[in-house]
Amino acid sequence: MAKPAVIIIGAGLGGLSTGIYARMNGYQCRIYEHARHPGGVASEWKRRGYTIDGGIHFYMGWRPGRPDHDIYWELGINQEDQYVEITNYGRFLDPSQNRTFDITQDLDQLATTMKRISPKDSTFINKIIKGARAFRHSNMTVSMEKPPDMSRWWDTLSMMFKMKGTLRYFSGWYLQPLDEATRELHDPWLAHVFKHLFLPEVPVVFVMIILGALSGGNMAVRKDGSGGFARALEKRYLDLGGEITYGSTVEKILVEKDKAVGVRLSEGEEYRADHIVSAADGYSTLYDLIGGKYLTAELKKLHEEWPLWKPVVLINYGVTRDFSNEPSILMLKPTSNTEAGYLSSDCWVIRIFNYCSECAPAGRTLVQVMIESQWKPWKVLREDKEAYKEEKEKTSKEVLERLNDVWPGIRDQVEMTNVATPYTWWRYTRNRRGSFEGFAVTDKIFTTQVKRTLPGLDNFFMAGQWVVPGGGVIPTLVSGKHAAMLMCRRDGKTFRVTS
């Protein structure tokens, strides 16, 4: 008897994870991927001797011995020699006031430094640090042991028991956005730092989780970057016998008698399978590939009303300069606004790839600036290719001038420039409106569960960042495991994990 076949749409983290777990359980698998490389939003590209990493900023769960490290072993991404522990989350810079602030792994030192800046804000600081300590050894996968489609009330009780040490932080004051919580701070500089520890709209508890992982030694960067991470997943999938077709865009999911039976590619070819899993953009999957059918009211509200991650502009510079003494991430408060690039943030995230030997030739460094922007202006501008090119060039020049305030002389040391816009993001990932990830991180991510199946449509499943609001590496990887679990349940098979 032939093994049941699965078609997976998308070779991002969710799609590759789905394929790996499906192969472990005896399914024949083929992934169709729009781009020509694995990773999805965890992507990389090459320019003039530099490898540009446009994806994952840090990896949680990387440390062996942690409960949330099991998935690293299962998926073949446990190359210990590739991970570098983060001891400094980032350095905040304000050149106009000659101020800096490091977010250190040592919570006691962090609290002391903050209180020295603003003794009046000690109560606020103590609450944040106490919460961070509670999350030092928390398990990120404890709330994701089963997909929502398979969870029962006793699973919820079990989860709550396992989270008893941190459960109190998922209510009340801790769920308000940083933008609101920081208004009670007396010191403007400290308020700026707290507000931009991640994004202003994320709930307070979210940064407690980050600081907890940082202080617990459970946060790292990867020497071979997002591309290396994606390639490790790809290798695991291929070693298990899976197949991938790159440069293939799925145009339609074929449905017959309320069963998903195959896919049609943009070139017209049709392929059949017993199960279809979409790990592609959620909105496109539901409204384009399936035609808006089988949607629940909850799903419609989610995809039509929920805010998305804001799109960004990534400005990359290849610099003939040594940055070995800098932290890998800096948060810059620019000295003045820029007129180019439709930029919309007063805090620029700068990534220094001083840990990645593959990212730059010897003696050089890749420096990347990530700034929130807007989707519609870039989409409209793209219709005039020359104007689009000019705007990118103007943006890179103006941003470089602000970097020169921090590192005098850098403007003359740049030998490679590359700008990726929200349109670039959409072009290669098909993420809705050029969103950097999926749904925005708000307080609702902790109380909203998205089922991986659609009522009335058999043999269809979803995986990826659009079924785990808030996204993140581990939740996205777990979503692939969930899709395989649901396939096994559908076919009356016992789900298993093999080495």
Instruction: Give the amino acid at 484.
Output: A
Contacts of 490 (CB under 8 A, 6+ apart): 275, 458, 459
**Three-state secondary structure readout of 391-422:** HHHHHHHHHHHHHHHHCCCHHHCEEEEEEECH
Amino acid at 464: G
- Tell me which residue has tokens 């430094």: 113
What DSSP state is assigned to residue 34?
S
489: which 2 tokens?
A: 């349940």
Instruction: Give the residue among 25, 33, 4 at the shortest CA–CA distance from 14.
Output: 33
Q: pTM of the predicted model, to two decimals?
A: 0.95
Q: Cα dihedral angle (218, 223, 225, 230), rounded to 10 degrees?
A: -80
- The alpha carbon of 398 is separated from its chain's Cα centroid by a whole number of angstroms, namely 27
Between helix 107-117 and helix 122-134 the angle, nearest 10°, is 170
User: Closest Cα partner for 333 from 29, 35, 95, 41?
Assistant: 95
pLDDT at residue 2, as a whole number: 58
Tell me the pairing of strands 243-246 and 28-33: parallel
First and final C-alpha spacing in the chain: 25
Q: Which pLDDT score, from 0 to 100, does residue 3 have?
A: 67
Helix (H, G, I), strand (E, B) or coil at 143: helix
In the numeric block, the tokens 């002391």 are attached to 112
Classify 44 as helix, strand or coil: strand
Q: What is the pLDDT of residue 1?
A: 34
Q: Sign of dihedral through CA atoms 331, 333, 334, 339?
A: positive
Beta bridge partners of 367: 317, 352
DSSP state, residue 323: -
Q: Residue 485 is inside which H or E element, if any?
A: helix 473-490
Residues of the chain short of pLDDT 50, as ranges, are 1
Q: How far apart are CA 133 and CA 114, in angstroms?
A: 16
What is the structure's pLDDT at 499?
Answer: 67
- Are 203 and 179 in contact by the 8 Å Cβ rule? The answer is no
CA distance to 14, 246, 436, per residue, from 474 (Å): 10, 24, 17
Tokens of 61: 């769960």
Task: Give Cβ neighbours of residue 216 (< 8 Å, ≥ 6 apart).
Answer: 135, 136, 137
- Alpha carbons within 13 angstroms on the beta-carbon side of residue 77 total 32
> Which residues are 348's β-sheet partners?
332
Q: Provide φ and ψ at 395, rounded to 5°.
A: -60, -45
Amino acid at 266: S
Distance CA 486, CA 275 (A): 11
DSSP assignment string, 46-98: EETTEEEE-S-S-EES-STTSGGGHHHHHHT---GGGEEE-SEEEEEEETTTT
